[in-house]
Structure 1
């Protein structure tokens, strides 16, 4: 339970949990927090030993690595290993998520990754490393003498984000959309009014989604949810005493056209984010699919212009 549900060790000290366990079995003696921690550590050691045995059976492995900062701006390095089992099944194991105290230079990243590879006994098995396009990540891979594979999903994110940022009309709509979503997510009165209107207008009572600056697909989700809920949102705004401007019918039409154009990129991003399927072989088909869809859109637009 502690491992699967990410529960803190202190759960065994919680009054309600202790009463619950006593109700289930009055004779059971809960372990202390320290004992529970030792039990989890023992379970981890056994799981790691078994995983290392499995890795030794794999002929080749590939790695993915990423750096990120916590809410407290602490740096972390995460490295994941991917391999095929003797039964021809794809397997994934997290080698480590380590607090990174050093400066994020290519040399320091290389040293940290090399230590993890040596710890798990896979130094000679690694065929490539997938990372984003950050220069320090690319350099660390070069210093390890490994083949670097840029993350396709990350590249898609950069491409679509740049396209969105360079479309002034859509940027204005996104700004208005963020303000609308912010109102319904921060005001209890606005939220209650939306839920009320959703209930009697036969719309599913769904929360609006706020976009996240680092993930373009959150922009897609925000616009899609707003478009689906445009009627109750407009009705709720008209019943609220505030200065938040609703989106116009023309702006919703632009949103619809944008969603249609972005849908293939959304599908490609989702497809490349899966863990249990080999993804490298999908790169060329997905790339061709995106090219084909964009060419179709351009042809349709050209046809509409000629017709008009």
Structure 2
């Protein structure tokens, strides 16, 4: 769980510590851990996860492929996401299977189907699979005939790349900044001199951030670190050489580029968070479009880039409001409902589709011999904070815009008195949205008896993440297991270790909470 190697049980320091804490304890061997304890624990955790998901009616998944840099191993991952009976989001890694041969769509589909069979998950329980935007992944999903979505963060990567390349002066300034950062990264002496200057100027010693081509926000953080260290870098160039320098004009461009890209950084951080769902996509895109459409004095020098960014967002997210998986999840999020749709027609289509789905739920429930939904009475409801204009100076423009859009669409609170799904939806949509910082899952935990139809749909739609970032986080764990010192580790053993590392916290959640409280 903490990423420690099994060999730690043979380390003198560790053995002395355990001996001091409990002299009578007989330390287990590395062989026992490897051949007995871990396989038994792996089996126990598998059974625990199987038990957790067997009665869940809707599961969402993220999947991705990763290739090791230190070992000839490729892994195909599958992570499950769901809401428990208390509407609390849960997730578990199911597999990170050794993926041999060509990464074709058919091969991906066959391997994923094997995983679903192993975990006894019928395809009708698969709400959606989040994947990257590669053609082989698209083909695999089509072959499996499951609902799927591309990674929103990957799409945003393409948007920002278009913007940065659209204005030569900006791309040149970024390239020069990249050279400067690379110089300090590869020269310990240069970094040491820069650190001395930072201390002389009473600045906290910080490293410049190197960007990575596949992560646009790393370019933002690189620019941010350069601007933050502008004074120290200027002092450095007075006595030492750099491979290139930034002119006054280029410094100004970098500062304006950083301001222009700030909403994109917040967008990416929001949709990549562990609690983000498909409900966050339409509102975040709407806010982003609105901010990019605003003209400010700071636009001077970066107008072309800003215009290109807006055009790229409009192009790459043009159908987002017409995608039912996004539209219905947004409607079912009490922070957003129908307030963030830019097209009234799209909002209406989404509401009609939701109403139709709820009616189908009623028919299915009745056919199965279950009781009709309970009447919508005076069950407890989440109280919403009084709407107030955002005023905190520390709040970002990106987050403030969420509150502004909410307030523009508010109506008076509604009440419900019958069990009709139409009445439930009317009540839900006419009530105020909850503040954007509130927890939508807690809302449904409190209101699921009052609004049983929408709550059942929310149970399905709000379990879906909007990116495949969770799979990337999994592979970050795997990369610490399959490192240069353990490059001969088999893919099967790496999968087992990653499985335990990712899933033990789910199984031991009560114990971990006690530890946190006592710390």
So what's the TM-score if we normalise by structure 2?
0.55
The answer to whether the 8 Å contact 2:64/2:77 transfers is: yes
How far 1:57 moved relative to its partner?
2.2
Query: Which residue of the partner structure matches residue 74 of structure 2?
Result: 75
Stretches of 4+ aligned residues off by more than 4 angstroms: 298-302
Moved more, 59-68 or 159-168: 159-168
Structural mapping, 1:25-174, within 5 Å? 25-37=22-34, 38-72=36-70, 74-124=73-123, 125-174=125-174
Alpha-carbon distance in structure 1 between the residues aligned to 2:266 and 2:299: 22
The farther-off stretch of 198-207 and 72-81 is 72-81
Per mean C-alpha deviation after superposition, the further-off stretch among 134-143 and 200-209 is 200-209
RMSD (Å), alpha carbons: 2.0
State the match for 2:434 in structure 1.
none
- Is 1:57–1:86's contact at 8 Å kept on the other side of the alignment? no
Larger % of strand: which?
Answer: 1
| Residue 5 (structure 1) aligns with | 2
The equivalent residue for 1:218 is 218
Query: Counterpart in 2 of 1:14?
Result: 11
Aligned with 1:155: secondary structure? helix
Instruction: Provide the C-alpha distance between the structure 2 equivalents of 1:214 and 1:96, rounded to a whole number of angstroms.
Output: 24
Cα deviation digits, residues 35-59 of structure 1 (max 9, x gap): 1122222222212211111101211
Q: Distance in 2 between matches of 1:59 and 1:11?
A: 42
- Distance in 1 (CA, whole Å) between partners of 2:246 and 2:299 is 24
Cα offset, 1:100, TM superposition: 1.2
Residue 168 of structure 1 deviates from its aligned partner by: 2.0
Higher RCO, 1 vs 2 (CA within 8 Å, ≥6 residues apart): 2
Structure 2: distance between partners of 1:299 and 1:234: 26
TM-score w.r.t. the length of structure 1 is 0.91
Q: Can you list the C-alpha shifts for 1:92-118, whole angstroms capped at 9, x where unaligned?
A: 111111221121000000011111111
Q: What SS is found at the alignment partner of 2:62?
A: strand
Which residue does 1:206 correspond to in 2? 206
| 2:54 aligned counterpart, secondary structure | helix
Task: Kindly state the Cα deviation for residue 16 of structure 1 after the two structures are TM-superposed.
Answer: 3.0
When structure 1 is superposed on structure 2, of 102-111 and 4-13 the one drifting more is 4-13
SS at match of 2:294: helix
Structure 2 residue runs without a partner (length 5+):
304-519
Tell me how far 1:299 sits from its aligned partner: 9.1
Q: Take 1:200 and 1:39, find their aligned partners in 2: how far apart are those partners? A: 54
Give the CA deviation at 1:222: 0.3
The answer on whether the counterparts of 1:63 and 1:128 sit within 8 Å (CA) in structure 2 is yes
* Cα contact 1:64–1:79 (8 A) shared by 2: yes
Cα 1:58–1:299 shift into 2, 3 Å:
farther
2:291 to 293, 302, 305: 293
CA distance in structure 2 between the aligned counterparts of 1:172 and 1:268, rounded to whole angstroms: 25
Report Cα offsets for 1:259-303 as digits up to 9, x if no partner. Answer: 1111111111011111234x111111111111101101479759x
Q: Per-residue deviation at 1:70?
A: 1.7
Give, in whole Å, the separation in 2 of the partners of 1:271 and 1:224: 19
- Residues 288/79 of structure 1: CA separation in 2 closer, same or farther (3 Å cut): same
CA deviation string 1:146-188 (max 9, x = no partner): 0121111111112112322343222212221122111212222
Q: Tell me how many residue pairs correspond in the alignment.
A: 299
Q: Is the 8 A contact 2:183 2:242 kept in 1?
A: no
Task: Specify the SS of the correspondent of 1:142.
Answer: helix
User: What 5-or-longer segments of structure 1 have no aligned partner?
Assistant: none
